[in-house]
Amino acid sequence: MAARVRGDTDAEAVAWLHDVVEDCPDFAAEVAQFPAHIRAAVACLTRRKEVPADDYYAAIARNPLARKVKLADIADNSDPARLQYLPTAVSQRLTQKYAHALLALGAGPVPAAN
């Protein structure tokens, strides 16, 4: 996914770190070593169960660096070449989820697959 933001070193760093706190909380202290703007973007992208989806996306939309990385993440996750390997019901659920996320981020709907 970091390849989708290649050339923007801040976005690349956030792309590599965006799931660390959520998926590997033991490494949160290492993330804390990064500059404040990187930490802020990572914090926006860290999903928390107690935060409603629309609030999560609104926070991301307010942080240009987090938004750029989230849009790259959605593009990667919604790639038809990737979704084709999932059961139809899962693929449809994820497509709806990503469409909602894109709208919440002000980026429009997921393009239809050919």
Residue spans of the domains in the chain: they are 2-104
On whether the CB atoms of residues 33 and 41 are closer than 8 A, the answer is no
pLDDT digits (tens, 9 = 90+) for 69-78: 999 999 999 9
Q: How far apart are CA 54 and CA 85, in angstroms?
A: 28
* pLDDT(114) > 50: no
Q: How far apart are CA 53 and CA 59, in angstroms?
A: 10
The structure tokens 């987090």 sit at: 66
**pLDDT value for 109:** 62
φ/ψ region of 108 (left if φ > 0, alpha if ψ in -120 to 50, else beta) reads left
**pLDDT value for 110:** 54
CA distances from 58 to 22, 43, 44, 89 (A): 18, 13, 9, 27
Given pLDDT bands bounded at 50, 70 and 90, which one contains residue 107? confident
